[in-house]
Structure 1
C-alpha cells in the first residue's frame, strides 16, 4: 500500500502516489539542471509544469483518480527526457528525437495570436490553424464587411469564442508544434532573444536626439493628427454623398420615367402625376422638368463624393459642367413658371348653393347618418382627401371625402338642407363652372337623412380643392338622433351642439342650443323621473321625455334601504 500526496501543479490539484511523486520530482529536478545555463529558466519551467498538468488532467477519469507511475511515465514519454537533448547558447540544438517540421491541422488548436495580429489576433490565429497567410483572411473579411456588412459581426463573435494564446505551450499548440521540453525551451529562448535584439540594435544617440527635439515636434504631430482625422472624415463624407446622390437619382428615374406608377417609392406628387392632374401640360414634360431640377444637384453631390474618396479622379470637364448648369437653370425656371401658373389656377373660390325643404312630423325623431359607397371604399372610415379612380361606368373620376356637416337653427316652420359645392379656379366663372360639375347626393327616407360621405367629379375638371359643405337647418322643438358615422364629418359649434358617439342620446332644438333629453346630468325640465317602490325589495325608476318613456330601471333593495326621487338607493339609520 502506497501513500498518496496532494500536489499543486500548474494551478491544478492532483492526488498522486508517493512513487509517482518522487519520479515526477526527479524529472523536474533534471529539467532544472539541464536549463541551469539557459535564459528565461523560470518561464520555461512554468510552461513545462502547465503542460504536464494538462496531460495529467486528460488522464483523470474521476475526481478521486490517483496519479500513478504509469501516468507519469506516459507524460514523460510525450514531453521527452531532459538528457536526450540540449540547446546551447548559440541556438544549435542536438536531440535524439526528430519531430517533423510539418504538422497537420488536426494537431493544431485554435487560439488568438495577439502578438501577430493587428487588433485582437483573430485572423492571425485562423491563419495558423488553417495554414493560410493572414493577409488573405484580412482581405476576405474586408470584402464581407463592405459587401454584406457581416465582417465586423463575425470578427467580434470569433474574438469572444477564441481564447488567446498566452502561455508558451498554447503558442506551440496554435502553430501545431509538439509541446515538448525542447520546443518550450526554444520558444522561450526566441522570445528572450527578440527582446534582447531590440535593445542591442537600438540607436541610443538617435533616441536621445528624439527626446531633445520632442517638444519641437509636438505641434507638428498634433497638426498631422488633425489632418489625418479630417482626411478620414472626408472619406466618410464622400461615401455618404455618393450613397445619397445615387439613391436620389435612382428614385427620380423610377418616379419620373414610370410617371409615378411604380410601387417602389412614394413621391409627394405621385397622385397628381398618375393621372396628369397637376398641370395643364403633358405629363412627360412635368416629369422631365422635375428630373433635371432635382436630379442635377444630386448628380454633382455624388461627383463630389467620388472626388473626396479619390482626389486624383479626372473631372467631367468644363463643357459638361456648363451644359448641366444651363439645363438645371432652364428646368428650375420652367418649374417656377408652372408653379406660378398653378397658383393662379387656385386663386378664386367658386360656390354653388342648392337647397331642399323636407317635411318632418313634430312627433318624429330625426335620425342623421352618413354612408359610404362599397365601390370606392371598404367602410365608412376608409377616407381619402383626393384620389383618381374609375366609377361603375368605367370613366376616370376624382374621388374625395372632403365633406363637412353642421346643424343650424331656422326661424321657418319647416326644415331644409343646404348643400354648398365649392371649387377653385383662375377666375370666378371657371371656379363656379367647376363647382357645378361636382356630383353629390343624399336621401330622405321617412324620418332618416342619409348623406353620402364622398363627392365625385370628372377627371378633366382636375383637382381644385373641390369640397361639399352641408348645413341642416332645423326649426325649434325638433327632436333628433345622431348616428356614429356622423362623427368624422360634424363641424357644428360645440357650444351650440355637443354629442358623444356610441351613445343612444336624443336631442331637442331649443332657442340657445341643442339639448340632450335623456342625459341625467343635463339641466332639462322636460325630463320626468318617477320612482316607485313596488315591494320591499324592488324599485322601479321611469324616465319620461315629453310624455315618451325612454328608460325603465328596476333595482333590488334590502331591508333598511330606501330610494330617493332620482332612484338612488340610500341607507336608513
Structure 2
C-alpha cells in the first residue's frame, strides 16, 4: 500500500500518494524552467496550477480517497508537457487533436469497453444530450435533434432529466474539453450574463442583450396586473425578463481564472492555451492602461485649464459662501432636469402604449377629418419617432456603435415638433366635443308593482361581459362589433323613499360640443329597464355606434327604497365606476352623489331604515366610515369585526 499525504495545493487540501506528489513536483519544476524567461511567468504558472487544482477537486468529487499516479499522469497529459510545446514542434496540435478524439470516443464507451450513454460535450448545442444519443445509437445527430424539435412538448421534460442524470463525456477523460456557462465580466454591461450566454451558445452578444432588453422596455405594458395602468398588451415574458436576469446574475458564477474563461468559450484548457490567454490578457491590460493614461492626461489637462479659467476670476472676485450656493444650485438644477427627463421618457412610453390601445376603437371616439389626421400624426411623429430614437440609442450603446449625425438629430427633432403640433390640435379638437353637459332630465320608470316588500336589481343578459376602469382604454369596449361597442356606463343609486312605495328613475347623460348636441345625444341613448314581479331588470351596458361617437354617454338608475323594505343589487349589473373623459366645466360629481346611500355591496340584502341603509344583520351600509373594532350581537349570533375582517359565532360554530 502506497503512503498518502495531505498537501495544500492552491488553497485546497488534497490527499495524494507520495509517488504522485513526486511526479507533480517534477512537472511544476519543469514549468518553472520552461517559463523562466517568459513575461508574466508567475501568472501563467499560477493559472496552470489553478487548473490542476480544479482537476484534483473534480477527481475527488467522484468518490476516490486520494490522487494517484494515474490521476496525475492523466492531468499532465491533458495539460501538456513543456517539451511538447517547443518552438517548431507541432506535436501540440497533434496532442490536442488526439485528446479531443479520445474524448469523442468516450462519449459512447467507458474505460472497460462496455457501451454507455454520455452527453457529448464536444458537439453540443445546449446540454449535449442529442449528440450523446446519436453517438450511442451510431446515427446522425441531425436526426435526433429534429425528433426533439418536432416532439418538443413531449420530450422537453425527458431532455431535462437526461441532461441532469446522464454523465458528461468530460467526466470520462480527465481534462477533456468542455463548455461551461459563466458570466463574462470582461465584456459586461451590467453583470456579464448576456455575454456569458453568447459565449455558451456561440452567438453574437447583442442577441441575448436585445432579448433581455425588449421585455424590460415592455414592462409598463403589463403594469395593469400590479396597479392601475393600461394592460391591453399581453406579452408573457414582460416583467419576468428582469427577474430571470437577476436570478442568472446570482446563480451563474463569474469566470475569474484563465481556465474558467477558456471553458466558457469551449476551448481546451492546456498549458499552451493558458499561456496564450495570459499573454493576450496582459497585452490587453497594457493597451487599456496606456489608453487610460492618455485619456486621464488629456482629461486632467482640459479640466485643469477649465478650472483655472473659472477659478482665476473667481479667486479675484471672492471666495465667499455665494459661490458655494451657486454650485449647489447648479447641482440641484441638473438633478431636477434629469428627473424631468426620465419622467418625460416614462410618460412617453406609457402614452404610446395607451395610444396604441385606443386605436382599435378610435372610430367610436374620433370624428372623420382632422381628428383622424391629428391622431395618426400624434401616433407616428409624437410617440413612435422618439420611442424609435430612444431604442436606437440604447441599442447603439449596447453595441458600442458611435455616430454623430447632425442630419439625423435635426430630422428626429423636426418630426417630433410636428407630432407635438398634431397632439395639441388633437386635444383641442376632441376637447371641444366634450365641453358641454346635457340637461338634467330624469325619466320616471313605471312599475307594475311598486308596493313589493323586496326589489332585486338584475341585468337583462347576465352572461354578457362589459369591462370598466377609470383609465380610458380598450377593455371597456371589449364587446366590439363592426359598428357597435358596448360601454358599462350604468350606475345604480339607492335613496330613501319619502313614500311607502318603491320608485325608480332613469337619468341619461352625455357631453357634446354644445348643450343642444349633448341633449340630442343623451336622448338617443338606448337603455331598457322594467319590473318583473320583484325583479328590476336593467341593461348592463350602453351601445355606442360610429355615428354618434362616444361622448361620455352614461345612465344613472336611482331606486327610492321605502323604510322597512329590502333592496338587493346583483353583481351581474356590473361595476359602479364607468368610463368618462372629464374636462373643465363638465364635472357632475355632486349631481351623482347628492343624497345617495354609500358603502353598500352587491349580492347583499339590505333594508332601509329611518337613518339609512342597513344589512339584515343590522350593520349600517356606511359602516366603512368607522375604523374602530366592533362587537355585535344579533339573531345570527355574536359578530366580531375588525375593518373588513369578520368572525361570527352562533349555534353552527365559528364562521
TM-score normalised by structure 1 residue count = 0.51
In structure 2, the residue matched to 1:501 is 616
In structure 2, the residue matched to 1:566 is none
State the Cα deviation string for residues 61-116 of structure 1 (Å, max 9, x = none). Answer: 76562333222222222222223334xxxxx7756422589985553322222113
**Distance change (3 Å), C-alpha of 1:63 and 1:355:** closer
Kept after mapping to 2: 8 A contact 1:420/1:468: yes
1:180 aligns with 2:270: yes
Q: CA deviation at 1:371?
A: 5.2
1:244 aligns with 2:354: yes
State the Cα deviation string for residues 504-523 of structure 1 (Å, max 9, x = none). Answer: xxxxxxxxxxxxxxx99xxx
**Distance change (3 Å), C-alpha of 1:143 and 1:94:** farther
In structure 2, the residue matched to 1:41 is 41
**Distance change (3 Å), C-alpha of 1:18 and 1:484:** same
Equivalent residue for 1:305, pick from 361, 383, 386? 383
Question: After alignment, is 181-190 or 211-220 more displaced?
Answer: 211-220
Kept after mapping to 2: 8 A contact 1:292/1:331: no
- Quick one: distance in 2 between partners of 1:10 and 1:371? 85
- Quick one: distance in 2 between partners of 1:231 and 1:27? 62
1:184-263 matches, within 5 Å, as 184-199=274-289, 207-215=296-304, 234-253=344-363, 256=364
Kept after mapping to 1: 8 A contact 2:445/2:504: yes
Kept after mapping to 1: 8 A contact 2:562/2:608: no
In angstroms, what is the RMSD of aligned CA positions? Answer: 5.8
- Quick one: distance in 1 between partners of 2:554 and 2:59? 88
Question: After alignment, is 238-247 or 292-301 more displaced?
Answer: 292-301
In structure 2, the residue matched to 1:369 is 453
Kept after mapping to 1: 8 A contact 2:504/2:557: yes
Equivalent residue for 1:343, pick from 432, 436, 439? 439
**Distance change (3 Å), C-alpha of 1:353 and 1:181:** closer
In structure 1, the residue matched to 2:198 is 127
**Distance change (3 Å), C-alpha of 1:30 and 1:463:** closer
Kept after mapping to 2: 8 A contact 1:293/1:331: no
Question: After alignment, is 70-79 or 100-109 more displaced?
Answer: 100-109
State the Cα deviation string for residues 466-497 of structure 1 (Å, max 9, x = none). Answer: 8675768xxxxxxxx988989967544249xx
**Distance change (3 Å), C-alpha of 1:351 and 1:231:** closer
Q: CA deviation at 1:165?
A: 1.4
Kept after mapping to 2: 8 A contact 1:371/1:485: yes
1:68 aligns with 2:68: yes
Question: What secondary structure sits across from 1:127 in the alignment?
Answer: helix
Q: Which runs of 5+ in 2 are unaligned?
A: 101-121, 125-176, 219-234, 311-326, 390-408, 463-489, 509-514, 516-527, 543-552, 570-603, 619-633, 636-655
1:113 aligns with 2:184: yes
- Quick one: distance in 2 between partners of 1:76 and 1:490? 91
Question: What secondary structure sits across from 2:439 in the alignment?
Answer: helix
Question: What secondary structure sits across from 2:255 in the alignment?
Answer: coil
**Distance change (3 Å), C-alpha of 1:19 and 1:299:** same
Kept after mapping to 1: 8 A contact 2:8/2:14: yes
In structure 1, the residue matched to 2:162 is none
Q: CA deviation at 1:125?
A: 2.7
Question: What secondary structure sits across from 1:66 in the alignment?
Answer: coil
Kept after mapping to 2: 8 A contact 1:112/1:165: yes
Question: What secondary structure sits across from 1:98 in the alignment?
Answer: helix
Question: What secondary structure sits across from 2:92 in the alignment?
Answer: coil
Q: CA deviation at 1:34?
A: 1.6
State the Cα deviation string for residues 19-69 of structure 1 (Å, max 9, x = none). Answer: 222222122112112222222222222222222223333444765623332
Q: CA deviation at 1:167?
A: 0.8
Q: Which has the larger radius of gyration?
A: 1
Kept after mapping to 1: 8 A contact 2:4/2:15: yes
State the Cα deviation string for residues 180-206 of structure 1 (Å, max 9, x = none). Answer: 2222222222222333344567776x7
Kept after mapping to 1: 8 A contact 2:458/2:535: no
Kept after mapping to 2: 8 A contact 1:423/1:464: yes
Kept after mapping to 2: 8 A contact 1:354/1:418: no
Q: CA deviation at 1:300?
A: 6.4
**Distance change (3 Å), C-alpha of 1:292 and 1:56:** same
- Quick one: distance in 1 between partners of 2:567 and 2:423? 61
**Distance change (3 Å), C-alpha of 1:251 and 1:179:** same
TM-score normalised by structure 2 residue count = 0.45
